């Protein structure tokens, strides 16, 4: 299977930042609330701005896919499963992400995770894994 990520005018800043190892989320300039990267407007209708985040996050929940691994770079530590998770940034928003290099035996809600960046197709994308691991 191959990935076909398509950048557009709404996602260009996000992909430009990930290529530099920086994760962007969204912030409302009016109320200063933070939102996940895919959201474009605040609940009051204000257009959101891009804002950097540290790339640190807390695991909220996850699901394990026991089917064929789409790409070895996206596999759990066992190399045989893929894991998708929901993480929460210190700024507040949640984001759905691929979890890589995680040990399914020790994975727990509340685990500290950090962003890592993988080249998939023409773009660099954020994935999350244990703090301090490449």
DSSP state of 17: H
Q: Would the pTM count as exceeding 0.85?
A: yes
The predicted structure's pLDDT at residue 132: 82
The predicted structure's pLDDT at residue 2: 52
Q: Is the model's pLDDT at 128 over the cut of 90?
A: yes
Among the listed residues 119, 118, 109, 116, the one whose alpha carbon sits nearest the alpha carbon of residue 131 = 116
CB atoms within 10 A of CB 13: 14
Kindly report, residue by residue over 62-121, the tens digit of the pLDDT. Answer: 999 888 887 778 878 888 888 999 999 999 999 999 999 899 999 999 999 999 999 888
The predicted structure's pLDDT at residue 13: 96
Residue 7 resides in a domain: no
The predicted structure's pLDDT at residue 6: 82
Residue 36 resides in a domain: yes
DSSP state of 69: -
Number of domains in the chain: 1
Domain that holds residue 83: 12-130
């Amino acid at each position: 299977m191959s990935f076909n990520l398509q950048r557009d005018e709404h996602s260009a800043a996000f992909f430009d930042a990930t290529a530099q190892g920086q994760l962007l989320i969204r912030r409302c300039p009016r109320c200063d609330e933070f939102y996940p990267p895919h959201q474009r407007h605040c609940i009051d209708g204000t257009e959101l701005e891009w804002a950097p985040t540290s790339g640190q996050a807390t695991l909220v929940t996850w699901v394990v896919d026991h089917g064929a691994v789409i790409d070895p770079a996206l596999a759990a530590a066992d190399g045989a499963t893929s894991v998708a998770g929901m993480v929460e940034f210190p700024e507040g928003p949640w984001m759905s992400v691929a979890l890589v290099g995680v040990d399914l035996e020790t994975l727990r809600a509340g685990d500290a995770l950090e962003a890592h960046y993988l080249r998939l197709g023409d773009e660099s994308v954020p994935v999350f894994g244990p703090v301090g691991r490449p």
